[in-house]
């Protein structure tokens, strides 16, 4: 129990402060993005400038885009939120945008462009037949581009040119490069024809490259905003914000482990905090601080609920666990460096086997290297890739947090390259590995210091 709250009161406070699945839409809940918020806000004031937010999957692109969209949008309407899918076309996307402008009641929810089989007759643009066509001939696409520009200018005039923000999310999911290229032409036209609306695109880095590659001068019209994983301060801010909403204290080591496991991907922080608070709420005693047992429950429940795609890839990769694949994978995830060489991975491997399971056989280095090679191949879900010979990284950065979570569930703490903030709790029920000397002057084994990178 927490503060004698009823379950409804508890859940309502909890979900005001954690959101593992829905994007953030207000500045008050968006942590660690002050610089990027400022950059996007400034760009939105510049006529003809289009914003492109790019970064790894799950890093927080949609949250930044929607937060700035709500902040900049005129108070008379909600921003237009669109999500692309593999079949989305340029004209179909714009038809969806115009449909939402035309019918404001449909606003506030994300429109899947695939579903938007509509003619936007109010703006003299009927695109119902062109939503999912294959690459159209160039002349036809240019005609469509001019139609779209004309329709948007007309729509803006009808709104008396109030601030309108259109978010085009998941741009990378569009499979057709010709369609992506049409957006490059369009972005130039937003500037050249002074379309009085602001566009914010979100996608992975490669999709921005495709966009820029399609139109040599496009880069002048785009404000690139790169999003990286959250720094340690922001991770702790999310955790502390939830704790203070309930006026409870989180046990120091759990707080640190949540930040370390997350690897800077906010989804893991929200999910672990959600389950930690539930574990405290379900405790028969009235509690105002968490224990390591609450944390263990939170870890186990988080593993259960996490995205199937990550679980599937992990299970595929460690299928041959009898041969030590799982521990090799843990070793790769054991440090904050994204690219790790075989030597560093092997050091992590020996270290974690010795401290986690003193009885286990330690594989020799050539065997670990052969496991690493196997983990790059299809039968292992291509979970790893090699940016260059002898170096390894996860194909998807968000996977590293998931691996840390799975290891934690089995009692093995990874990512101890920074010292923990406090001494180990006396009620710990699983073995702690000593923190190694990190890059930040931390003394190995000294858990009293909290030193973490920017
Ligand atoms: N700066 C932040 N502070 C707190 N929570 C955040 C922040 N950014 C994102 N989140 C949370 O992290 C989760 C993932 O964020 P979001 O959906 O914005 O990421 P994304 O990069 O758009 O992901 P995807 O690549 O899957 O589309 C969301 O549940 C959101 O609530
Ligand atoms: Mg997103």
User: What does the pLDDT look like over 362-396, one tens digit per residue?
Assistant: 999 999 999 999 999 988 889 999 988 999 999 99
CATH of 1-15+230-305, one of 1.25.40, 3.30.70, 1.10.8, 3.30.450: 1.10.8
Lining residues, ligand 1, CB within 6 Å: 19-24, 29-33, 57-63, 238, 266-267, 270
Question: CB within 5 A of ion ligand 2: which residues?
Answer: 62
CATH code 3.30.1700.10 for 33-104+140-227:
no
What SS3 string covers the chain?
CCCCCCHHHHHHHHHHHCCCCCCCCCHHHCCCCHHHHHHHHHHHHCCCCEEEEEECCCCCHHHHHHHHHHHHCCCCCCCEEEECCCCCCHHHHHHHHHHHHHCHHHCCCCEEHHHCCCCEHHHCECCCCCCCCCCCCHHHHHHHHHHHHHHHHHHHHHCCCCCCEEEEECHHHCCCHHHHHHHHHHHHHHHHCCCCCEEEEEECHHHHHHHHHHCCCHHHHEEEEEECCCCHHHHHHHHHHHHHHHCCECCHHHHHHHHHHHCCCHHHHHHHHHHHHHHHHHCCCCCCECCHHHHHHHHHHHHHHCCHHHHHHHHHHCCCHHHCHHHHHHHHCCCCCCCEEHHHHHHHHHHHHHHHCCCCCCCCHHHHHHHHHHCCCHHHCCCEECCCCCEEEECCCCHHHHHHHHHHHCCCCCCCCCCCCCCCCCCCCCCCCCCCCCCCCCCCCCCCCCCCCC
The more confidently predicted of residues 293 and 446 is 293
**Which ligand is the nearest neighbour of the Cα of 60?**
1
Q: What percent of the chain has pLDDT over 90?
A: 49
Task: For residue range 438-452, list pLDDT tens digits in order.
Answer: 333 333 333 233 343
Q: Where in the chain is CATH 1.10.8?
A: 1-15+230-305
Tell me the ligand closest to 55's alpha carbon.
Answer: 1
81-90, 139-148, 191-200, 259-268: least confidently modelled range = 139-148
Structure-model confidence comparison of residues 237 and 357, the more confident one: 237
CA of 19 to the centre of ligand 1 (A): 9
Which residue among 14, 54, 62 has the greatest number of ligand 1 atoms within 8 angstroms of its CB, and so is best to mutate? 62
Question: Which of 60, 69, 167, 263 to mutate to test ligand 1, by most ligand atoms within 8 A of the CB atom?
Answer: 60
Domain with CATH 3.40.50.300 in the chain: 33-104+140-227
Q: Please, where in the chain does CATH 1.10.10 lie?
A: 308-454
CATH class label, 308-454 = mainly alpha
- Distance from Cα 18 to the centre of ligand 1, integer Å: 11
């Amino acid at each position: 129990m927490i503060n004698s709250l009823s379950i409804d009161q508890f859940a309502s406070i909890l979900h005001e402060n954690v959101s593992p699945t829905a994007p953030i839409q207000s500045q008050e809940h968006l942590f660690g993005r002050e610089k990027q918020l400022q950059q996007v806000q400034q760009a939105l004031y510049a006529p003809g400038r289009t914003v492109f937010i790019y970064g790894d999957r799950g890093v927080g692109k949609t949250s930044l885009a929607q937060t700035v969209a709500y902040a900049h949008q005129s108070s008379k309407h909600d921003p237009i939120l669109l999500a692309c899918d593999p079949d989305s076309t340029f004209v179909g996307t714009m038809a969806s945008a115009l449909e939402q402008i035309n019918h404001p009641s449909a606003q506030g929810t994300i429109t899947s462009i695939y579903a938007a089989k509509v003619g936007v007759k109010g703006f003299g643009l009927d695109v119902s037949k062109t939503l999912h066509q294959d690459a159209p001939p160039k002349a036809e696409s240019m005609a469509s581009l001019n139609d779209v520009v004309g329709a948007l200018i007309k729509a803006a005039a009808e709104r008396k040119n109030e601030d309108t923000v259109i978010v085009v999310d998941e741009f990378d999911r569009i499979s057709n490069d010709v369609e992506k290229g049409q957006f490059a032409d369009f972005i130039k036209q937003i500037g050249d024809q002074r379309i009085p609306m602001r566009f914010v695109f979100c996608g992975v880095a490669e999709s921005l490259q495709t966009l820029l590659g399609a139109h040599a001068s496009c880069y002048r019209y785009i404000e690139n905003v790169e999003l990286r994983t959250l720094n340690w301060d922001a991770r702790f801010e999310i955790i502390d914000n939830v704790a203070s909403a309930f006026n409870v204290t989180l046990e120091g080591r759990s707080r640190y482990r949540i930040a370390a496991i997350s690897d800077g991907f906010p989804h893991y922080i929200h999910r672990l905090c959600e389950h930690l608070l539930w574990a405290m709420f379900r405790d028969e005693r009235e509690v105002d601080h968490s224990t390591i047992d609450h944390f263990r429950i939170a870890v186990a429940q988080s593993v259960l609920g996490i995205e199937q795609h990550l679980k599937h890839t992990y299970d595929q990769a460690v299928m041959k666990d009898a041969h030590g694949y799982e521990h090799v994978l843990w070793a790769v995830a054991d440090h904050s460096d994204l690219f790790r060489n075989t030597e560093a991975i092997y050091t992590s491997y020996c270290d974690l086997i010795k401290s986690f399971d003193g009885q286990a056989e330690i594989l020799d280095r050539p065997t670990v290297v052969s496991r690493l090679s196997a983990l790059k191949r299809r039968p292992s879900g291509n979970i790893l890739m090699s940016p260059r010979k002898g170096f390894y990284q996860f194909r998807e950065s968000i996977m590293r947090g998931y691996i840390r979570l799975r290891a934690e569930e089995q009692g093995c703490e990874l990512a101890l390259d920074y010292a923990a903030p406090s001494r180990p709790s006396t009620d710990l029920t699983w073995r702690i590995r000593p923190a190694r000397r990190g890059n930040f002057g931390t003394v190995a084994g000294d858990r009293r210091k909290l030193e973490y990178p920017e």
